[in-house]
Chain A
Amino acid sequence: MIVAERKPVAEIKNSLAPYDKVLILGCGTCVKTCFAGGEDEVAVLASALRLALKQSGQQLRFEELTVERQCEDEFIQEAGPAVGRNAAVLSLACGAGVQALARRFAAVPVLPGVNTTFIGVLEKPGLFTEECAGCGDCQLATFGGICPFTRCAKKLLNGPCGGSRQGRCEVHPDTDCAWHLIIERLNALGQMDRLKTYVPPKSWNRSLAGGPRKLIRKDHVL
C-alpha cells in the first residue's frame, strides 16, 4: 500500500488561514489502512482543528467527507457537490489523490493534509516499512525477494557495504541490513550461488529518472 502520515495540526492550520469554509476529504483506500486519511482520521483531524482554531480565536467551518478512492475520477465526482460548497479542499489522500482532485476541480484550491511517504507494508501493529521504490523493472527474483534498491541505503547490488554489523544497517541501526536479509534468505533457499553472481548497473530509465511515467493499456483504451 501507499503509506502516508498526517501533517502536524499546526502546519495544516496555517495552510487553511485564507479560507472560511473547508472540506476535509478522506480517502478510503491506502491512507485509511495506514491510519492517515480514512473516515476516522477525517473526524479526528476536524476536531483537532476546531480546537486549535478556537484557541487562537479563528473562525472556520468544516465539512467532512470520505470517498472510496481519490485517485479515480469515478469516486472523485461523488465529492463534487461538497467541493462546490467550500472555499478549499483539505485532502487526506496521497499525493496522487491530491493531484487528481486538483485536476478535476480547477477553480478550488486543494491542500495536502498528509505527507505521502512510501510504498510499504504493515510489518507489525504500529510499524510500516518501505519495501518498494516503484523502479519499473522488478528484480526481486535475483535478490531472494528482498529489494536492495529500496532497502539498502546505498542501493548496493553486489553485496553489503562495510558498515553491516550484526544484521543492522550503519545508516539507521534500528533498520535491518537488506543485504544481511538477502544472504539469510538465499541461504535458506539453497541459492547461495546467486551471491557470487555479478549484478550489472541498473537501468534507471524505467524509473522516475526517465521522467514521469505512463502506463498505456491498449486493451483498456475506449
Chain B
Amino acid sequence: MNHPADSRLAGVLAAGGFAVTAECGPPRGADPAVIRRKGALLAGYVDAVNVTDNQTAIVRLSSIAASAHLAAMGIEPVMQMVTRDRNRIALQSDILGAYSLGIRNILCLSGDHQRFGSQPEALNVFDIDSINLVRTVHDMGAAGKDMSGFALQGAPKMFIGAAANPFADPLDYRVVRLAKKIAAGAAFVQTQCVFNLERFARWMAMARDEGLTEKVHILAGVTPLKSKGMAQYMANQVAGMDVPEDIILRMGSVPKEKAREEGVAICLETIAALRQIDGVHGIHIMAIEWEEVVADIVKAARLWPRPGKAEQAEGRSPED
C-alpha cells in the first residue's frame, strides 16, 4: 500500500487509526461560499472530505475547484474523478492540475450514467474504466510517467482510492473486482452506504479470506436517513443501494419530527457494528445535503477529536 507522506488521510490510516471521511457535494452554481460553508461544518470532525464530481450526472462546480477551495481552508479533500466526462487526455491533465493545486487524495470512479442526470442527451466518454483510472494515477505517481510513457516533470503522488459496492450482484464477483482495484493501485476503498450489515459482513469475510484487508484500507459508507420516504426512495430508486425492510419500518415507526433522530440512531448503531468488523479501517459519512449532522455523529460515535499531525506521526489514533 502506498501512503504518500503529505496526505493526512493516508497518515491516519498508516498509523492504524480509524479514519473518518465525509462527503460534500459542490453547488449547482459558481458561488464558492456554498462549498466553504459546508467545509466549515466538517472541519475538525473528519480526516478528509470527499468532493463529488458532477454526481448523478448533474452539472455542478467542478470537483477540482471545490477541492482547491477546501484545501485553501486547511481541509483535506478527497477529489472524486469520474471517467464519464473526460477522455484519458483530459483525465491525466486534470490529475496533474489537481496535484499542482495541493490535492493529495483521489477517488477513481466510472460515474453515474448521464441517463440519471439533468442532461440525458449528453454524449458520455468512458474512454477508460475506473480500474484503468486507478492504474493511471498509480503509474503517474510511482513511475512518474503518463499513459504514453512520457516522463513527467513532477510526478503526482496521490493517495489513491476506489469505490466498492458490496450490495451489487453478483456477490461472489464483488471481491474479485475489489482485488483487481487493489492490484491496479488502490490503497483505500470507500463503500456504498451500509444498511444491510449482514451482507456487508459477508462481503468483508470474503475480502478477508482473500487477504485483501491486509492490502487495502476499507472505509465503510454510512448515511443518516432523514425520513421513511428517504429510506424508501433509496431502497427503490437509487441504483446499487440495499436498504432492508426493517430499516424502512423503523424509520416509519417514529413520529415524523423524530425521524431524523431515529436516522442518526441507526447510523450510530451501524458505525458501532462496523467498528467490530475486522478489516474496516474507517467510515465514510454521506450525509446528503445534511452536512451539519456530521459533527454530531462523529462526536456521538466517540470518534472525536480527530488525530492531529503530531499524533499521526506517533502512530496514535483517538482509540488509543
Contacts and interface: CB of A to CB of B under 8 A. Distances in A.
Interface of A: 153-167, 170-172, 177, 180, 183, 195-196, 198, 200-202, 204
A11 to B, nearest CB: 18
Nearest to A196: B176
Contacts of A183: 170, 173
A168 B147 CA distance: 33
Interface string B172-208: 0100110110011000000010000000000000000
A173 to B, nearest CB: 9
B240 A153 contact: no
A160 B173 contact: yes
B180 A162 contact: no
A211 to B, nearest CB: 15
B170 A170 contact: no
Interface residues of B, number: 34
Given A162-B240, A171-B115, A201-B127, 19 more contacts: A154-B113, A155-B126, A157-B129, A157-B131, A157-B132, A158-B177, A158-B180, A159-B177, A160-B169, A160-B170, A162-B165, A170-B239, A196-B179, A196-B180, A198-B131, A198-B135, A201-B129, A202-B128, A204-B127
Contacts of B113: 153-154, 163, 170-171
Contacts of A180: 169-170
Interface string B110-124: 110101100000001
A139 B84 CA distance: 22
A164 B169 contact: yes
A156 B110 contact: yes
B168 interface: yes
A164 B177 CA distance: 13
A196 to B, nearest CB: 6
B88 interface: yes
Contacts of B168: 160-165
A146 B84 CA distance: 22
- Sorted nearest first, the 5 A-B pairs with minimum C-beta distance are A162-B165, A170-B239, A163-B239, A162-B240, A155-B126
B180 A159 contact: yes
Contact of B129 (A158, A163, A196): A158
B84 A154 contact: yes
A161 B110 contact: yes
A172 B120 CA distance: 13
A162 B183 contact: no
Contacts of A158: 129, 131-132, 177, 180
B49 interface: no
13 contacts: A154-B113, A159-B180, A163-B239, A164-B240, A170-B239, A171-B115, A195-B176, A196-B179, A198-B131, A198-B180, A198-B184, A201-B88, A201-B129
Contacts of A167: 169
Interface in B115-164: 115-116, 124, 126-132, 135, 147, 163-164
Contacts of B126: 154-156
B176 A201 contact: no
A110 to B, nearest CB: 27
Nearest to B132: A201
A180 B170 CA distance: 7
Contacts of A177: 169
A195 B179 CA distance: 11
A154 B129 CA distance: 8
Contacts of B176: 159, 195-196
Nearest to A153: B113
A170 B112 CA distance: 10
Contacts of A195: 173, 176
Contacts of B147: 201
Nearest to A171: B113
Q: Which of B129, B130, B179, B192 has the most CB of A within 10 A?
A: B129
A40 to B, nearest CB: 33
A149 B164 CA distance: 21
